[in-house]
């Protein structure tokens, strides 16, 4: 995300104050969503956590879209769209639960981590949709990536996360750290 500064020579322009705040928040939310995904993966298996995060993201994005369309009076999803979405969600849950339910370990921490990750990612997507409609792709991408950098730096302000990051960097050999 820090490499977004390489886009400046290609014509990145400042956004309005409101759009800049939206872009920074969208970028920060994407980082915090990844933190939730990381927590879920530590709590369970990737093959279970990732589809759950995807399902929650799809569900919340659908709800945000539904509310936004109802609020703006801009069209309707319709029953066919709702039915297609429910089939999509069912498929995701079938992938996540390929083994019998009795073999799954569900902890409150796993559910909360996947739920929060999905919510934050969907909110980030909704904000990015607004941003890309209100500005150019280049401007929206640049400013939202700066929000990701800001979100990552703010994680360093939390002692527990800073300690995890420092411990993780000490546990990786220099050869692996370079690749």
Asked which of 1-5, 78-82, 130-134 is least confident by mean pLDDT, the reply is 1-5
Say whether 116 sits in a helix, a strand or coil.
Answer: helix
pLDDT value, residue 112? 93
Pairwise CA distance, residues 14 & 66, whole Å: 31
Pairwise CA distance, residues 35 & 53, whole Å: 12
Confidence class of residue 12 from pLDDT cuts 50, 70 and 90? confident
How far is residue 26 from each of residues 53, 57, 71, 102, measured CA to CA in Å? Answer: 17, 14, 21, 38
Answer whether residue 104 shows pLDDT above 90.
no
Residue 7's H or E segment, with its range, is none
Answer whether residue 56 shows pLDDT above 80.
yes
Read off the tokens for 90: 């069912």
pLDDT value, residue 177? 45
pLDDT value, residue 47? 81
Answer whether residue 67 shows pLDDT above 70.
yes
Average pLDDT over residues 61-89: 78
| Phi (first) and psi of residue 105, to 5 degrees | -105, 110
pLDDT tens digits, one per residue of 142-174: 899 999 999 999 999 999 888 887 887 776 544
Confidence class of residue 83 from pLDDT cuts 50, 70 and 90? confident
Residue 124 CA from chain centroid, whole number: 6
pTM value? 0.79
Q: Cα–Cα–Cα angle for 98, 100, 101, nearest 5°?
A: 105
| Phi (first) and psi of residue 154, to 5 degrees | -65, -30
pLDDT value, residue 175? 45
Q: Cα–Cα–Cα angle for 52, 171, 163, nearest 5°?
A: 70
pLDDT value, residue 65? 83
Asked if 152 contacts 25 with a C-beta cutoff of 8 angstroms, the reply is no
Confidence class of residue 98 from pLDDT cuts 50, 70 and 90? low
Average pLDDT over residues 33-60: 90
């Amino acid at each position: 995300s820090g490499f977004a500064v390489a886009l400046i020579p290609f014509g990145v322009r400042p956004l309005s104050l409101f759009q800049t705040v939206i872009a920074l928040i969208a970028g920060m939310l994407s980082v915090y969503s990844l933190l939730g995904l990381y927590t879920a993966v530590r709590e369970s298996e990737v093959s279970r956590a990732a589809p759950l995060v995807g399902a929650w993201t799809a569900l919340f994005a659908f709800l945000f879209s539904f509310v936004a369309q109802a609020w703006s009076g801009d069209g309707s999803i319709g029953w066919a769209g709702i039915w297609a979405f429910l089939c999509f969600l069912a498929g995701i849950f079938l992938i996540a639960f390929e083994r019998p339910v009795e073999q799954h370990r569900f902890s409150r921490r796993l559910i909360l981590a996947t739920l929060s990750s999905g919510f934050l990612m969907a909110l980030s997507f909704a904000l990015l949709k607004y941003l890309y409609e209100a500005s150019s792709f280049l401007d929206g991408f640049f400013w939202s990536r700066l929000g990701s950098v800001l979100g990552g730096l703010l994680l360093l302000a939390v002692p527990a996360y800073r300690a995890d990051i420092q411990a993780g960097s000490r546990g990786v050999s220099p050869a692996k750290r370079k690749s």
